[in-house]
């Protein structure tokens, strides 16, 4: 989502500026109370557009503009100030601001200025290329996955007596070609066996992909207490078991936090002992973009390389965002 | 009063539905004794619910290996996750005859199985449900396709050798 950062030392002014943003403009609005604050927020990616006041404590508007220029930050700046001297106008535009709006702001003027610099219309294309996922939402997904993983790891550790090296979830809105890239480093290693499983909840649907490298099977057999020679048939069973546990625990954790329930389809074997791109290649026509949460598992003391990828449909994000709205509010 | 009657009637047709649905439903407790055995299971196994109720699954079906099945069910009880078995892994858990004894090409029913936890009011899992799906048609289709692929590649190989 396109993000707007409103920087002003006065709470009333911040609210007033935010209220004047076009009603139908789907943006994430953030606030900063001085220049320092704003620079921090910008560094976190919270501000494709900065609405900047000039007279503030700590770091004023001029200083902020200078810092933005020095650091090469890509934000667009529109100055909103009560200081209407012509010199102020000149100074800020020479420091890189697009335009100058005098306080108090009214919706019409703001809309005109936004329109003039194509900020209202181009934002969608721009953000698709630059950052497809709002950092706040990414953070939020990452956090709930972390919590889900923590719970899952605890369960796994207790049932299987292993120490689970908790992976850091990698959350991205990706396209088909990117899924290939994401998987390419797994491919470079060796051959894999993959299982996918569909899951479905109210308004949320997706697929879990569990990929186990072929060299991991002996150790997985040890962990799951399976004896005997690990042949193809047994490998398949091991993968199914490991996948059910990993996918199940992770989905349960996510579902709990969103207060929904997932039903799971039967797992399908995508292929045994094959190159990963081959496995993915067959299915690439049907979708364009997907929210991917990638988890790479390791188990301490074992040679187990297992990747779990949760892919959510783009439509699912609507429901997920609304279910997670209470978390997002705190940002 | 009439509300109670309605609830009772509703319960009755719900049970009827469980009985007649074309999916096998079995409920097991922690020691794997059978608690529920629906119409699908009854018809295919030839065992009446009264014959299986409160008996151990393993004594009823000695072909099911106890260690193996216990291991499968452990995460369902402990982690409250579902466990799955597909016909590709092992063709069946219960050896039931083919649904179509005359026109069917296979002698037994290929099965997909799902074990899922049944959470009690206290949040504990004391029972699990086992659902058995008939996958024979899918399995037959896939096997035919694979056989065809083998025949074709053999034919191509032969052709190359003779030409």
Contact yes or no for B71 and A267 at CB 8 A: no
Query: How much is the pLDDT for A127?
Result: 41
Asked if A244's CB is within 8 angstroms of B83's CB, the reply is yes
Question: Could B79 and A159 be called an inter-chain contact, meaning their C-beta atoms sit closer than 8 Å?
Answer: yes
Burial group, residue A90, by CB count within 10 angstroms (0-12, 13-18, 19+): exposed
Residue of chain B minimizing CA distance to A155: B79
Nearest chain B CA: its distance from A292 CA (Å) = 22
Residue B69, pLDDT score: 93
Residue B116 has pLDDT above 90, yes or no: yes
Computed on alpha carbons and rounded to an integer, the radius of gyration of chain B in Å comes to 21
Q: Which of A246-260, A299-313, B81-95, B105-119 has the lowest mean pLDDT?
A: A299-313
Whole-angstrom distance, CA of residue A180 vs CA of residue A268: 20
DSSP-assigned beta bridge partners for residue A210: A195, A308
List of E strands, chain A = 2-7, 27-32, 49-52, 76-81, 99-102, 164-165, 170-175, 192-201, 204-213, 263-264, 268-274, 289-299, 306-313
* Interface membership of A227 toward B (CB under 8 Å): no
B81, B85, B114 ranked by CB distance to A245: nearest: B81
Q: Nearest residue of B to residue A152 by CA position? A: B79
* Distance separating alpha carbons of residues B147 and B124, to the nearest angstrom: 47
Q: What is the pLDDT of residue B61?
A: 94
At residue A271, φ and ψ (nearest 5 deg) are: 165, 150
- Chain A contacts of B75, Cβ < 8 Å? 159, 241, 244-245, 248
Q: What is the pLDDT of residue A279?
A: 59
CA B74 to chain CA centroid, nearest Å: 18
B58 pLDDT above the threshold of 90: yes
Q: Does residue A159 belong to the interface with chain B, where contact is any CB pair within 8 Å?
A: yes
- Name the one residue in this structure whose structure tokens are 């490298």: A213
Please indicate if any CB of chain B lies within 8 Å of the CB of A161: no
Instruction: Output the pLDDT for position A189.
Output: 56
CB spacing of B82 vs A155 below 8 angstroms: no
Q: Please indicate whether, in this complex, the C-beta atoms of A252 and B80 are within 8 angstroms of each other.
A: yes
CA A188 vs. chain centroid, Å, equals: 26
Q: What is the pLDDT of residue A283?
A: 54
Q: Please answer yes or no on whether B86 and A267 come within 8 Å at the CB atom.
A: yes
Q: Do A245 and B74 touch (CB under 8 A)?
A: no
CB contact under 8 A, A248 and B82: yes
- Interface A–B counts its CB contacts (< 8 A) at 55
How many angstroms separate the CA of residue B49 from the nearest CA in chain A? 27
Exposure letters A227-265 (e unless 16+ CB within 10 A, then b): eeebeeebbbbbbbbbbbbbbbbbbbbbbebbeeebebe
A278 close contact with B: CB closer than 8 A: no
B78 → closest Cβ in A159, A225, A244: A159
- For residue A192, the model assigns a pLDDT of 77
A264 contacts B78? CB cut-off 8 A: no
Residue B52 pLDDT: 94
Give residue A155's pLDDT. 74
Q: In Å, how far are A41, A179, B14, B82 from A135, measured between CA atoms?
A: 11, 20, 47, 33
User: With bands split at pLDDT 50, 70 and 90, how would you rate the model's confidence at B132?
Assistant: very high
Interface residue A108 vs chain B (CB under 8 A): no
Contacts of A226 in chain B (CB under 8 A): 71
pLDDT at A128: 41
Q: What integer pLDDT is reported at residue A188 of this predicted model?
A: 54
Contact flag B83-A269 (C-beta cutoff 8 Å):
no
Closest CA relative to residue B99, chosen from B54, B135, B72? B135
pLDDT at A143: 85
Residue located via tokens 């088909």: A176
Contact yes or no for A319/A301 (Cβ under 8 A): no
A151 phi, psi to nearest 5 deg: -65, -45
Q: What is the pLDDT of residue B55?
A: 95
Contact between residue B92 and residue B109 where contact means Cβ atoms under 8 Å apart = yes
pLDDT of B89 higher than 50: yes
Q: Do A233 and B114 touch (CB under 8 A)?
A: no
Task: Write down the pLDDT at residue B29.
Answer: 94
DSSP 8-state secondary structure symbol assigned to residue A246: H
Contacts with A155 from chain B: Cβ below 8 Å: 78-79
- How far CA A16 is from CA of A20, A29, A48, A59, A231, in Å, comes to 6, 13, 19, 21, 69
Residue of higher predicted confidence among A24 and B109? B109
Q: Does A252 sit within 8 Å of B84, measured CB to CB?
A: no
* pLDDT at residue A276 in the model: 60
ipTM above 0.90, yes or no: no
Judging contacts by C-beta atoms under 8 Å, the chain B residues touching residue A162 are none
CA pair distance A61, B54, nearest whole angstrom: 78
Walking along chain A (331 residues) 10 residues at a time, the average pLDDT comes out as 86 83 84 90 87 87 89 86 77 86 83 82 46 76 84 75 77 74 59 84 87 80 76 79 85 87 84 63 62 81 82 86 76 46
B129 pLDDT band, cuts 50/70/90, is very high
Contact B79 A249 (CB under 8 A): yes
Chain B environment of A225 (Cβ under 8 Å): 71
């Amino acid at each position: 989502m396109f993000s707007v950062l409103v920087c002003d030392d006065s709470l009333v002014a911040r609210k007033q500026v935010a209220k004047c943003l076009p009603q139908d403009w789907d943006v994430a609005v953030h606030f900063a109370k001085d220049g320092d604050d704003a620079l921090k927020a910008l560094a976190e990616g919270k501000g494709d557009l900065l609405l900047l006041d000039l007279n503030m404590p700590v770091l004023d508007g001029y200083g902020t503009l200078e810092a933005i220029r020095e650091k090469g930050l890509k934000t667009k700046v529109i100055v909103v100030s009560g200081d209407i001297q012509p010199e102020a106008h000149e100074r800020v535009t020479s420091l890189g601001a697009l335009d100058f709006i005098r306080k108090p702001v009214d919706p019409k003027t703001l809309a005109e200025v936004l329109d003039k610099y194509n900020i209202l219309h181009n934002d969608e294309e721009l953000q698709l290329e630059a950052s497809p996922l709002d950092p706040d939402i990414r953070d939020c997904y990452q956090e709930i996955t972390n919590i889900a993983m923590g719970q899952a790891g605890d369960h796994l550790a207790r049932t299987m007596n292993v120490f689970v090296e908790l992976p850091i979830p990698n959350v991205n809105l990706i396209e088909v070609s990117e899924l290939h890239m994401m998987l390419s480093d797994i491919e470079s290693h060796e051959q894999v066996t993959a299982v996918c499983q569909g899951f479905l909840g109210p308004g949320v649907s997706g697929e879990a992909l569990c990929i186990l490298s072929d060299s991991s099977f002996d150790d997985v057999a040890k962990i799951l207490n399976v004896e005997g020679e690990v042949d193809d048939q047994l490998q398949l069973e091991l993968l199914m078991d490991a996948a059910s546990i990993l996918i199940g625990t992770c989905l349960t954790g996510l579902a709990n936090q969103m207060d929904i329930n997932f039903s799971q389809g039967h797992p399908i074997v995508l292929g045994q002992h094959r190159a990963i791109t081959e496995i993915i290649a067959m299915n690439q026509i049907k979708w364009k973009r997907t929210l991917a949460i990638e988890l790479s598992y390791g188990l301490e003391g074992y040679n187990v390389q297992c990747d779990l990828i949760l892919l959510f449909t783009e439509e699912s994000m609507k429901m997920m965002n609304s279910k997670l709205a209470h978390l997002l509010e705190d940002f | 009063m009439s509300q109670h009657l309605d609830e009772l009637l509703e319960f009755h047709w719900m049970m009827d539905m469980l009985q007649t649905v074309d999916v096998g439903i079995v409920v097991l407790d922690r020691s794997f004794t059978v608690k529920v055995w629906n119409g699908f299971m009854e018809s295919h196994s030839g065992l009446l619910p009264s014959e299986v109720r409160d008996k151990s699954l393993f004594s009823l079906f000695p072909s099911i290996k106890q260690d193996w099945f216990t291991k499968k069910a452990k995460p369902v009880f402990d982690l409250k996750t579902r466990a799955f078995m597909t016909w590709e892994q092992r063709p069946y858990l219960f050896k039931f005859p083919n649904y179509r004894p005359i026109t069917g090409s296979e002698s037994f029913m290929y099965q997909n199985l799902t074990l899922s936890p049944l959470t009690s009011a206290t949040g504990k899992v004391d029972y699990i449900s086992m659902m058995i799906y008939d996958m024979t048609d899918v399995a037959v289709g896939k096997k035919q396709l694979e056989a065809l692929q083998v025949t074709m590649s053999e034919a191509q190989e032969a052709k190359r050798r003779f030409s």
